[in-house]
Structure 1
Amino acid sequence: MRTVASLAMLAVFAMTGAAAAQDKLKLALVPKAMNNPFYDLARDGCAQAEKDDAGIECVYIGPGEHTEMEQIQIVQDLISQGVDGIAVAPSNAPAMAKALRGAKEAGIAIMTWDSDLLPEDQGMRSTYVGTKNYDIGVELAKIAMGRHPDGGTLCLQTGGAAAANHNERLLGVRETLAGAKLGDPPGSELDGQNGWTEIAGCPLITDDDGNKAVQGMTDILAANPDLTDFISTGAFTQWYDNAYRQAVEPYKAKMEDGTLSILVADTLPMQMEQLADGLSDGQVGQRPYEMGYKSMFIMKELIEGKDVADPIYTGLDVCTAENAKTCLGS
């Protein structure tokens, strides 16, 4: 039987534990979607930061699926809860900028990761950590040019129509292939520059939906037997391994003889296996674990009033069949 003294001591311990929890900085990492294996790696980095620093609480929360309005509502809820910091990968850059005004007014540390706000709205956040997205497009285009030096027909596949990161990647692809400036992201479609022409029906918009991505690719390949290059700016095309393999297997011989190339952003484990099996001709990968990990410490530094660089790039891994075993982390 517990005495009054022991109960009092337990109450003190409980209060101490609650105070310790309150002492932690509550830092939110908001992805575009929770059902995305790319963001799972960022979640793991966020969780590791929490383990490495007892003063950090990682709050990983986002829409179950890629839903722009749900992501905005989640950010608004985090503002209402009074979290100490928010790192968000905006699905809809202009709409998210408006939502973040409340966070700025509340004195919450704000940063973006993976996908940034539009240039005119970047004053709403302190920094961006992640990939230089334009360079993903550049590297994908370089692989395409190496395989098809005379150009050819092209279909691009992208994420959300208002996602700044994917639009920057599209611009990187187009300007590199064209050898010319093509305006603001996503740039104008190619119509013969350096021999490259985008086919009707593309770019394919997927809204980061893996099923939609595979179906779109399947339909385009079937309808365009002479297509030279299919380039996807996101891993969604390859998330569902069996579905992707079934879609691409009929074209493996064309990929081997160089008449068709399929190039995709990111280097998740299933993607690297597909590359090794000849079902992809190139992968340009990001480092999502590092994004999630670094975001926690960057927000902590912002809260402490420290100067933080802007932007903070985490690098790329360019992988082809020739270097597949050594390209990651190089």
Structure 2
Amino acid sequence: MIERPTIFRPLGLLAAVLVFAAVLGAAAPCSAKDRLFVIVAKSESDRNFVRVYNAAKTEAEAHGDRMILTGGKDKAHFRRQNEAIREVMRQEPDGLAVSVLHSEFLAENSFKVVHAAGIPVVTFDSDFAEPYLSLRAGYIGVDNVELGRELARQAQKIRPRGGMVAIMTGGLDDTNLNDRIRGVRDQLGLGLSGSGWTLLARSPIPCRDNYDQALGQLEVLLDDPEVSVIISVGWWAQMANGYEGLVGRYRRSLSRGEKVLVFAGAHPRQRELFAKKLGHVNIGLDFEEMGRLAYRYLARLADGGTIPKVTYTPMDVLSQDCLYAPAR
């Protein structure tokens, strides 16, 4: 038997080590990918949250990860959202991006499971209320108090003499909507003597995310001679099929500034209505950027990195002072 020179043994071992390392190196990127992240919407049926999801999904797939959408279908409700979180946790996701409907309820229910799992969480569009901020690593979205202030500023520009304002909202428990309402109140000085502005007694008026109900509420407000400014902190009435026909009947009041319509949101449908001069103000939110950042931040957290506590996305203000030439 010929004995092989011992000098070749280390080289053989080295070659084996190099081959093994190469295999591990090739496999490492794959093992770090195919992670599952989740967009938890207020409602999967809401087109704005679909925009967030589509942007997040595109970003995730470009990096070899997966993104799914949950939150409950049809009308938004915090109990549906809570159950959706419980259900998706059974899939052992690598991170959640949540638009919060009811901070306390989530904290006392599904988020006990989330916390026990130790997975990364970010919020977008609607953050946790102050006592529960520790439940997320960071918030992505518009500064909702500032959005409320901007809605009010635009109303002040169009009607500087003040008047009675009605505020329309979705749900009374929504953190982001309540922050917008707070911004409106602060900017108009509601409740302060000498501000020139008063709040309609039954405001804020909730529609529970029902477009047709919001349209009916808008009609009542347009018919009320005491109400001069209507500020909706969301898009609901403008997304109803009958909005154009309803508001068209009030063109003279709108053109004279006797009625001022101000809406949060600049969905393509809302931009179309604005172009037709069927509203004074629309303020848009960048839902696509929320989606992209939601994925990037969750991926960074899953890799052991850190993210900012708050990341504000921009607003897009559309405003027109006079809708129609005064009647002769």
Tell me the TM-score normalised to structure 2 length: 0.84
Q: Distance in 2 between matches of 1:34 and 1:193?
A: 44
Larger radius of gyration: 2
Q: Pick the aligned partner of 1:141 from 152, 156, 160.
A: 152
Give the counterpart letter for 1:115 in structure 2.
S
Asked if 1:36 is matched to 2:46, the reply is yes
Superposition RMSD in Å? 1.8
Is the 8 Å Cα contact of residues 155 and 230 (structure 1) preserved in structure 2?
Answer: yes
Aligned equivalent of 2:213? 212
Aligned equivalent of 1:100? 111
**Change beyond 3 A, Cα 1:58–1:259:** same
Q: Distance in 1 between matches of 2:288 and 2:30?
A: 27
Q: Distance in 2 between matches of 1:215 and 1:34?
A: 24
For residues 1-330 of structure 1, the aligned pairs below 5 Å read 23-54=33-64, 56-65=65-74, 66-98=76-108, 99-178=110-189, 190=191, 193-222=194-223, 224-240=224-240, 242-321=241-320
Is the 8 Å Cα contact of residues 35 and 64 (structure 1) preserved in structure 2?
Answer: yes
Is the 8 Å Cα contact of residues 38 and 235 (structure 1) preserved in structure 2?
Answer: no
Is the 8 Å Cα contact of residues 215 and 237 (structure 2) preserved in structure 1?
Answer: yes
Is the 8 Å Cα contact of residues 33 and 63 (structure 2) preserved in structure 1?
Answer: no
Is the 8 Å Cα contact of residues 222 and 259 (structure 2) preserved in structure 1?
Answer: no
1:288 CA displacement? 0.7
Query: What are the ranges of 5 or more consecutive residues in structure 2 without an aligned counterpart?
Result: 1-28, 322-328
Is the 8 Å Cα contact of residues 101 and 124 (structure 1) preserved in structure 2?
Answer: no
Give the counterpart letter for 2:55 in structure 1.
G
1:144 CA displacement? 0.6
1:23 CA displacement? 4.3
Is the 8 Å Cα contact of residues 221 and 230 (structure 2) preserved in structure 1?
Answer: no
1:81-134 superposed Cα distances (whole Å, 9 cap, x missing partner): 211101110111221222223212211111111100011100011111111101
1:260 CA displacement? 1.2
Is the 8 Å Cα contact of residues 180 and 233 (structure 2) preserved in structure 1?
Answer: yes
Q: Distance in 2 between matches of 1:294 and 1:52?
A: 14
Paired-residue identity, %: 25
Is the 8 Å Cα contact of residues 44 and 69 (structure 2) preserved in structure 1?
Answer: no
Task: Point out the more displaced range, 22-31 or 300-309.
Answer: 22-31
Corresponding residue SS for 1:194: coil
Q: Distance in 1 between matches of 2:309 and 2:239?
A: 31
1:225 CA displacement? 2.4
Q: Distance in 1 between matches of 2:217 and 2:270?
A: 18
Runs of 4+ in structure 1 displaced over 2 angstroms? 19-23, 189-193
Q: Distance in 1 between matches of 2:201 and 2:34?
A: 53
1:79 CA displacement? 1.9
**Change beyond 3 A, Cα 1:230–1:102:** same
1:192 CA displacement? 5.3
Corresponding residue SS for 1:140: helix
Q: Distance in 1 between matches of 2:179 and 2:120?
A: 25
Is the 8 Å Cα contact of residues 256 and 278 (structure 1) preserved in structure 2?
Answer: no
Aligned equivalent of 1:8? none
Tell me the TM-score normalised to structure 1 length: 0.84
**Change beyond 3 A, Cα 1:237–1:248:** same
1:228-254 superposed Cα distances (whole Å, 9 cap, x missing partner): 1000000122112x3111221111221
